[in-house]
């Protein structure tokens, strides 16, 4: 790893970023989260264990220095549980937590559920309080940040302000008692987290000057980005690679963008999904690919790989190359389809449209390839040793997208990874 690297999801999240971050963090000194919160779910199979992480950067498994940047929203209870989990497993946690990151409070979680229930067009949120927390951040009146959590007086004042202003919507019988209970609980979290809190922007800028190798771990995927995703069916933060600049308070002059794309597609929650399937192939992806949400357990929607969508993701994220994940899951299918274009108003279009009105009308145009057999993928170490039709599939994608596929993942384990 010569440069800093950012890992960016190219689809709707769940592309397998966790495994790749774990794999690449071997070479990194610092692993950083810069957006989102515990709505993320990273499943990693390493050291004979399955880790399901939500908030702590995946570099925790290899004992790297970890940073949670100001762009994140932090549920302190989740973070403390994850720290405890690693410490019980005798792993030292070297965490730097931005004082500027915002805290997810119990009322955010309650409001997330209530708002979703009231919505005519559901988003299908993870109900982790992400949206309401970012709303408070943008609103600026009494949001609680990590710095406030470790300042008792300020914390009490902010919680009271917050609870009283939301009491009506939350249908609270006793706002005072509710606020006092939250204060007691969160004061405790502040005491536990105090030792990790710092100016992470300065820390990272200093580490960059020392030429430390930094891996930035994006959460969610390109089309869940609040600006560039399939709005309103998105999360509430920016998820594209450039979000790391504001989410960490740094401007890396040298950085490579590794785009992570699954060999087929999935989505949880509502929203546009042009190549979605409703047939037996969907069940193949669901069952063989174990496509159930890490955070919510919901079955994921499944579909064919969408190249117009991938091309837009490559553009938006300035991806240098692609890591293609879960190629092995396609094994056993007789035919494999790839969407190469859309038909919109009788016109052939080769990029995911910007305007949702066009997206609504987009009909995928597919290219069909022959499938490949199931083999012992764990034994394959080189791209040339993949089953012939699997190789043809990878070559086809690479030619269409115009950037190299640098890594291919053919199973959940670290050793089931091909460096091309």
Under rule CB under 6 A, residue 236 binds ligand IMP? yes
Tokens 């951040």, located at residue: 137
Q: Provide the β-strand partners of residue 197.
A: 97
CA angle 219, 221, 227 (to 5 degrees): 105
Phi first, then psi: what are they for 125, rounded to 5°? -65, 170
Mind telling me the catalytic residues? 14, 42
Q: How many residues bind ligand IMP (CB under 6 A)?
A: 19
**DSSP calls for 164-227:** HHHHHHHT-S-HHHHHHHHHHHHHHHHHHHGGGEE-HHHHHHHHHHTT--EEEEEEEEGGG-TT
Pairing of strands 405-409, 30-33: unpaired
Find the binding residues for ligand IMP in span 58-117 (CB under 6 A). Answer: none
> Rounded distance, CA 202 to CA 248, Å?
9
Contact 239, 271 (CB under 8 A): no
Least distance between ligand IMP and beta carbon 16 (Å)? 11
Q: Which stretch binds ligand IMP (CB under 6 A): 38-46, 203-211, 257-265, 386-394?
A: 38-46
Least distance between ligand IMP and beta carbon 291 (Å)? 11
Q: Which stretch binds ligand IMP (CB under 6 A): 39-47, 181-189, 301-309, 320-328?
A: 39-47
Options 125, 230, 317, 409; binder of ligand IMP; rule CB under 6 A: 125
Q: CB-based burial of residue 46 (10 Å sphere; 0-12 exposed, 13-18 middle, 19+ buried)?
A: middle
Q: Which stretch binds ligand IMP (CB under 6 A): 126-134, 170-178, 257-265, 365-373?
A: 126-134
Least distance between ligand IMP and beta carbon 298 (Å)? 8
Least distance between ligand IMP and beta carbon 257 (Å)? 19
Options 18, 57, 76, 131; binder of ligand IMP; rule CB under 6 A: 131
Find the binding residues for ligand IMP in span 12-31 (CB under 6 A). Answer: 13-14
Under rule CB under 6 A, residue 11 binds ligand IMP? no
Give whichever of 124 and 356 is closer to ligand IMP, judged by the CB atom: 124
Least distance between ligand IMP and beta carbon 185 (Å)? 22
Least distance between ligand IMP and beta carbon 294 (Å)? 8
Under rule CB under 6 A, residue 213 binds ligand IMP? no
Q: Which two tokens stand for residue 358?
A: 């066009």
Contact 27, 275 (CB under 8 A): no
Cis peptide before 414 (omega within 30 of 0): no
Under rule CB under 6 A, residue 230 binds ligand IMP? no
> Rounded distance, CA 383 to CA 391, Å?
7
Closest CA to 314 of 2, 11, 23: 11
Find the binding residues for ligand IMP in span 245-274 (CB under 6 A). Answer: 268-269
> Rounded distance, CA 249 to CA 76, Å?
22
Under rule CB under 6 A, residue 220 binds ligand IMP? yes
Pairing of strands 363-370, 335-344: antiparallel
Closest CA to 306 of 248, 252, 262: 262
Options 193, 224, 316, 329; binder of ligand IMP; rule CB under 6 A: 224
Name the residue with the smallest CB distance to ligand IMP.
Answer: 269
Angle, helices 307-317/388-401, rounded to nearest 10 degrees: 50
Under rule CB under 6 A, residue 166 binds ligand IMP? no
What's the number of CA atoms in the CB half-sphere (13 Å) around residue 142? 16
Give whichever of 207 and 282 is closer to ligand IMP, judged by the CB atom: 282
Least distance between ligand IMP and beta carbon 44 (Å)? 14
Q: Provide the β-strand partners of residue 49.
A: 46
Under rule CB under 6 A, residue 284 binds ligand IMP? no
Q: Which stretch binds ligand IMP (CB under 6 A): 34-42, 65-73, 155-163, 335-343?
A: 34-42
Options 99, 124, 188, 356; binder of ligand IMP; rule CB under 6 A: 124
Residues forming contacts to ligand IMP in the complex (CB under 6 A) are 13-14, 39-41, 123-126, 128, 130-131, 219-220, 224, 235-236, 268-269
């Amino acid at each position: 790893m010569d440069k800093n690297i950012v890992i960016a999801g190219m689809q709707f999240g769940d592309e397998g970023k966790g495994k790749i971050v774990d794999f690449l963090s071997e070479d990194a000194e610092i692993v950083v989260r810069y957006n989102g919160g515990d709505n993320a779910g990273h499943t990693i199979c390493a050291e004979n264990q399955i880790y399901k992480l939500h908030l702590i950067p995946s570099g925790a498994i290899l004992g790297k220095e970890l940073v949670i940047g100001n762009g994140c929203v932090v549920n302190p209870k989740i973070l403390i549980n994850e720290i405890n989990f690693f410490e019980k497993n005798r792993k030292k946690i070297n965490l730097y937590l931005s004082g500027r990151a915002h805290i997810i409070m119990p009322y955010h979680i309650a409001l997330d559920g209530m708002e979703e229930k009231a919505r005519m067009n559901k988003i299908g949120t993870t109900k982790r309080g992400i949206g309401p927390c970012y709303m408070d951040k943008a609103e600026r009146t009494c949001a609680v940040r990590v710095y406030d959590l470790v300042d008792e007086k300020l914390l009490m004042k902010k919680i009271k302000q917050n609870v009283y202003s939301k009491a009506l919507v939350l249908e609270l019988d006793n706002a005072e008692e509710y606020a006092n209970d939250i204060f007691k609980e969160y004061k405790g979290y502040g005491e536990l987290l105090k030792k990790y809190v710092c100016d992470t922007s300065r820390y990272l800028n200093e580490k960059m000057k020392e030429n430390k190798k930094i891996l930035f771990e994006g959460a969610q995927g390109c089309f869940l980005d609040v600006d560039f995703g399939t709005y309103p069916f998105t999360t509430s933060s920016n998820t594209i690679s450039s979000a790391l600049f504001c989410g960490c308070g740094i401007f890396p002059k040298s950085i490579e963008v590794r785009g992570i794309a699954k060999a087929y597609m999935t989505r949880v929650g509502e929203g546009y999904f042009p190549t979605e399937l409703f047939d037996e192939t969907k069940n193949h992806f669901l069952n063989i690919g174990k496509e159930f949400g890490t955070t919510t357990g919901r079955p994921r929607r499944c579909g064919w790989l969408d190249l117009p969508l991938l091309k837009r993701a490559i553009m938006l994220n300035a991806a240098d190359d692609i890591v293609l994940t879960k190629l092995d899951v396609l094994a056993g299918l007789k035919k494999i389809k790839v969407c190469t274009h859309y038909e919109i108003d009788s016109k052939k279009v080769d990029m995911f449209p910007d305007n949702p009105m066009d997206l609504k009308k987009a009909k995928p145009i597919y290219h069909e390839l022959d499938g490949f057999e199931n083999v012992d993928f764990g034994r394959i170490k080189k791209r040339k040793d993949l089953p012939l039709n699997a190789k043809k599939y990878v070559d086809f994608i690479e030619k269409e997208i115009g950037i190299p596929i640098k890594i291919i993942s053919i199973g959940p384990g670290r050793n089931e990874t091909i460096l091309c």
